[in-house]
Structure 1
């Protein structure tokens, strides 16, 4: 499961990394504690121009056929093993794939029945990356409005994540962004739904206050002294 992530990069850094060259980018700032049901930037192909664009969407996919928005509470993630066939995700998987910009994701390691420790997992390089995501447009007939939502696909954990959790988000290498976004291709990129290479990733224990979604500051990502001390990727890494 991926139920919380970090987006330290601002809109300029995200536009540069994901090669978004459109005339306008929505206004958003960084967040060190992204939670479900919040509006976050995603990258997709524009339906008319087929160029990449950044759009704000709410985390928790609501299928186009849903009668109400409540389903979005349980669809923040889609499993790689069933995403092509699950009713909530199969149409979006074929036609509305997107990238979800992130700099780290968070998992809680269970120590005992009462204790869990939060960890951040990021690339050793400190670079931002894109989760494999799906997007959907849901029409609220009662309100006469529409809502754009997204989900993050998860897969088996790699060696870095396995001690912390039994799932991890699908992280796409930059070289595969175009393949993932190209929904016009007749070949569905199932081969991309795999764990990221463990030797390129790192994990460190973070402030337990990150468990409260109301807390959102860079200090939450400082490495805690109970784990081997290494320089934090989020202290001095250039934007």
Structure 2
């Protein structure tokens, strides 16, 4: 799964990297760098504008709420969507067909189970130290009483590559930059980009152990991604606090 990640970029850098056409649609305070992005937080995503069809940078909440939800909640965790079932899952299948997005990131975290009581956190990224994008889906939910809209997103996951396999049995879908346009562009059901839902090449990634502080979402600073100089015994920690 993907339950935490790092986003160091500001609005301008994301707009330049993702080639968006509007970088002034929300206040910069929504884009403060985060070294411990957690579910239910507001995060920037890139989608095609429903009005213009051009790439736009906007803010959504992490954890997809299906459009048909009665109360604006999901009955199970929707921070991730499995690639293997995204086309058939009631929560994700309509977004998969029509509402794909890019989720900007620099690093993501995963916890390796050491034994029944201990987990070791890792930081994982692409080797060129550039921003990358998770394959995401977005959804818009409308409160029937107030008419207020809530926009949310999820991150797709797939089987682990050779780098990730010793750490965890899932990994987020990371897209190559050359595939951004194809991922975002609407298409007919016979040509949906299923082939992009695959592990990123292990040879283009790197991973390193980090300290236990990342286990607490209250901690949020650059030290979280610093490599451990000496292996330390990690206590069993919940994925989210």
- The TM-score, its normalising length taken from structure 1, stands at 0.91
Of 50, 55, 69, 1:52 maps to 55
Contact 1:62 1:72 in 2 (8 A): no
CA distance in 1, matches of 2:133, 2:34: 15
CA distance in 2, matches of 1:135, 1:201: 26
Deviation at 1:192, TM superposition (A): 0.3
CA distance in 2, matches of 1:183, 1:95: 6
SS at match of 1:121: strand
CA distance in 1, matches of 2:43, 2:12: 15
Of 108, 111, 116, 2:111 maps to 108
SS at match of 2:223: helix
Query: What is aligned with 2:33?
Result: 30
Query: What is aligned with 2:202?
Result: 198
Question: Are the structure 2 counterparts of residues 142 and 226 from structure 1 closer, same or farther at C-alpha, using a change threshold of 3 Å?
Answer: farther
Question: Are the structure 2 counterparts of residues 72 and 129 from structure 1 closer, same or farther at C-alpha, using a change threshold of 3 Å?
Answer: farther
Residue 223 of structure 2 corresponds to residue 219 of structure 1: yes
Query: What is aligned with 1:2?
Result: 2
Query: What is aligned with 1:154?
Result: 157
SS at match of 1:3: coil
Matched residue count:
227
Question: Are the structure 2 counterparts of residues 91 and 33 from structure 1 closer, same or farther at C-alpha, using a change threshold of 3 Å?
Answer: same
In the alignment, structure 2 segments of 5+ residues that lack a partner are 232-241
- The TM-score, its normalising length taken from structure 2, stands at 0.91
